[in-house]
Amino acid sequence: MSGSNLPPVRRIVTGHTPEGKAIVVDDAPIEQYPFRGSRTIFSDLFWTDAAPAPNDIVFKDLTKDHPNEHCPSEGSSFKVSDIPPGQKSPFHRTVTFDYAVLTHGQLTLILDDDKRVDLRPGDVVIQRGTIHAWHNEVCSARFSAETFSFAASQKAKIGETELEAEFRIPQFQATQK
């Protein structure tokens, strides 16, 4: 489990036979890895290189072709992050449209205007190219888990200025509880 107290995600992918009958083409736990040297654990669930995404008969797991990548410039990705207690991400912006659902634990979303939003399981965050950070501030031994769907997007634009992807230093911080 790569240090997480959460089980690996089991991914089931469906498809079709050449005759058009629905079938399961993949059913397995997904490999977990630490994100960019942090203690946060990621699982890459799905990757598409185009929008709209193809529904070809033959299934190819494109996540294996894009290790540690966030999202394609066209298409989408689907991931789970397991964030340990005390872990805080850097402030960052991606050129994506993100749907995040907290599935386990508690997290705090922090915006660069110092706005803090406490999240509970079932809460949904729609990120629209904003600078933000995630912090698992809970004093316990519990990881928090978020499921993310990232879709390629246009850059956020303020007036005539397009906002670029950004990861602010320090890369990752952890507070010890």
CATH assignment at residue 88:
2.60.120.10
Q: How far apart are CA 28 and CA 90, in angstroms?
A: 31
| Total domains present in the chain | 1
Q: Quick check: is 62 in a domain?
A: yes
Range of the domain at 138: 32-174
Residue 166 has pLDDT above 50, yes or no: yes
Segment 133-145 mean pLDDT: 82
Q: Beta-carbon neighbour count of residue 68 at 10 Å?
A: 10
Q: How far apart are CA 150 and CA 94, in angstroms?
A: 9
pTM of the entire predicted model = 0.84
Q: How far apart are CA 41 and CA 66, in angstroms?
A: 16
Q: How far apart are CA 99 and CA 102, in angstroms?
A: 10
User: pLDDT band at residue 137, thresholds of 50, 70 and 90?
Assistant: confident
Segment 86-90 mean pLDDT: 89
Q: Quick check: is 2 in a domain?
A: no
Handedness of CA 137, 143, 148, 152 (dihedral sign): positive
User: pLDDT band at residue 4, thresholds of 50, 70 and 90?
Assistant: low
Residues 6 or more apart whose CB falls under 8 angstroms from that of 20 comprise: none
pLDDT of residue 177: 42
Segment 81-85 mean pLDDT: 91
Q: Quick check: is 140 in a domain?
A: yes
Q: Quick check: is 23 in a domain?
A: no
Please provide the average confidence, as pLDDT, over all residues in the chain: 87
Residue 70 has pLDDT above 90, yes or no: no
Residue 172 has pLDDT above 60, yes or no: no
Q: pLDDT of 38-66, one tens digit each?
A: 788 999 999 999 988 888 888 999 998 98
